[in-house]
Structure 1
Amino acid sequence: MMKYTTILILFIGLIGCSQQPKEGVKLSGNLEQFPAGGFATVEVISENGVEPFDTLNVDGDGNFVEYLNIQEPAFFRVNLNGRQIITLILTGEETNVVVNAHGNDPGGFFEVSGSYDTEYKNQIDEMMQAYRQAIQGFQQEQMQARTNGDANAFQTSQFQMMDLAKRTEAELKELIREASPSLASFYGIQMIDATQNFAFIDSITTELQAEMPENFHVESLISQVSARRSLAIGKMAPEIALENPDGEVITLSSLRGKYVLVDFWAAWCGPCRRENPNVVRVYNEYGGEKFEILGVSLDKTREKWLGAIEQDGLPWLHVSDLKFWRSQAAQDYQVNAIPATFLIDPDGKIIAKNLRGASLEAKLKEIFG
């Protein structure tokens, strides 16, 4: 009997000494230059902003291991001494997420593995960074072309920039579609022009709503998409009925049968005034029986409104209620920044938004040849 009692005691002792398996997502890695005495925390982005979530204990060699209790997909930040911040997307289903980083440099090296959502997010970031750098190059070319008075070089650079934008957008949408439904796809659609890609964003939102309807990021997105739906491409344009400078009411519906560019602008809007010469040039080429512009001013005084029309030589139709941002038309079209444009087809449907410069010219050339 004594023999069996001894074995039982030893067995119980072994169980007591063994380490119980830890629960949660294992977050581990190495920080090459993490300073002695520095802090390393995990933060979560919640409805209330960035909040503390956990602490990482970094040893003298820069190594750390922590287990995170994650209840739902969320954006997290690994905050390294307030110097380097690395954003992660974690769902709670990951087993071992590894973060290796410099540890003390805002632009320092980092790599993440073990989280598919984060890997998609990082691919999106790399794509957009390369795109922005290329755009800066095109902008420098265009500035130089203007300085040299080389209109052909300026236009060529503009069209090349537009082509790059289209190709990048197509690649980004493909990546977002692969990642959907996830917070990585939510992250990606923030980089897409919502006015030109509403149908795509709407479809991704539907998938996200089915997958995680109570996630606060998704709830916010659903609200935004619902508000935009009435002004989506393919929808009927809201009616506009405002007075022209002579006091006559002009309606958008009275222009049916023509393509109409509804142009929200104001005398006080610098970007609008700088864009006006481009619009005048396009109007002189395409304006007439098939194309009209309806300028909707968000000015507050009649004098400044009419003065700007005369100074800039704007020959198209103009209307305003002189109510600034409280203009009924601005509210109906959800305009909160100008210049803002909506291209309406002869049947009264929205076919494009926010066309300016080369993009406006290209669209009209596509329509009229």
Structure 2
Amino acid sequence: MKNALLLLLLGILINARSLAQQYVITAQITGFENGTKFYLNDITLDTNIDSAVIENNFLSFKGKLRSEPQSLWVTANFRQKFYYFTLLMGNEKINVKGDVRDFPFDLKIIGSETQDMHNKMIALTKEGYKKRNILVEQYQALTGDSAKLKGKAIWKVIARLDSVDLLTRMDFVRQNLNSYEALDALFYLKSDFPKDTISKFYSSLNSKFKNTTYAKRIKTFLTVGDIIKIGDVYSDFDGFDRDGKSHSLSEIKGKYVLLDFSTTFCGPCVESVSELKKISQAYPQELAIVSFSGDAGKETWLKGINRDQPQWLSLWDGNGFYGKTIIKYGITGYPTFVLIDPKGKIVSKWSGYYNGAVLKEVQDQIAKRQ
């Protein structure tokens, strides 16, 4: 009898511990039709974790996350409009309440100390976001001869809003350094703080946060040295191809190298593929293309490889946006292109894509050496 009771108690404890290691998100949200599908997305890996259908204003997600709190967003398409809200949470319980009109910033989200800090950041910045979105819509609706002048005035206001937003976030980091939210923000603001200030921030972290992945990202930034710029000699790096074989950039010798930093679901990156194929075919002897993926998830990266079928070296290191290579080359947006001459010197570096731009830059640089 005693043994049976002990086994029962042990089973209860194990089950309770298992439940404690799960995330549970419950939401009571009015305004959506029954059957509307919501997705829970891992922002870092850019993958869907779960999905749920709303019924009678209620939906829920349940499962297991990584050991540290992570950035998530919940999304839905309803009546041809995209809805979302963001979360920063671990394996804990979160409750969401609100209405369709409260998306994305005015929902009530409670149940987690980590999420509370995320809510605090949203509260500080949401009014600026709302004003910015209205101004962007006004800009997109401009027509006629006066559109250029009016558009310029609108972007001046947007620039002021962005400046205030930046200062607000920087102040939030200073005031709340020992938190996941502040450390996450600090990484994205790393170019806005002096490097010695970031070093002091890192040194002052308490033991709880200094050993987190969030803090290690900051340490990586501090240890990679100066960011690569035009005129510098390239920085070597390693990555794996689709078959798992390791390659170094330094393996390529005597050619121009066009580095293509991209991600699988980046629209402009996808648009650039056809032009990269033309370049690869036009300059097989003079130039080698190397694509380096900023995707954190291998499956996501391989989806892009299978879709695009690049005929050049495509590499991935598994570290996503936080890896040494991405940081060293100063990648803050995708696609970013870096052109290296046969002597190993960076001769061009730019972000974004529009038709013909990559080909023209390659042609111009190769022509200079002929």
Query: Do the two structures share a fold, i.e. TM-score over 0.5?
Result: no
Larger radius of gyration: 1
| TM interval, short-chain normalised | 0.3 to 0.5
Q: What TM-score, normalized by structure 2, do the two folds share?
A: 0.42
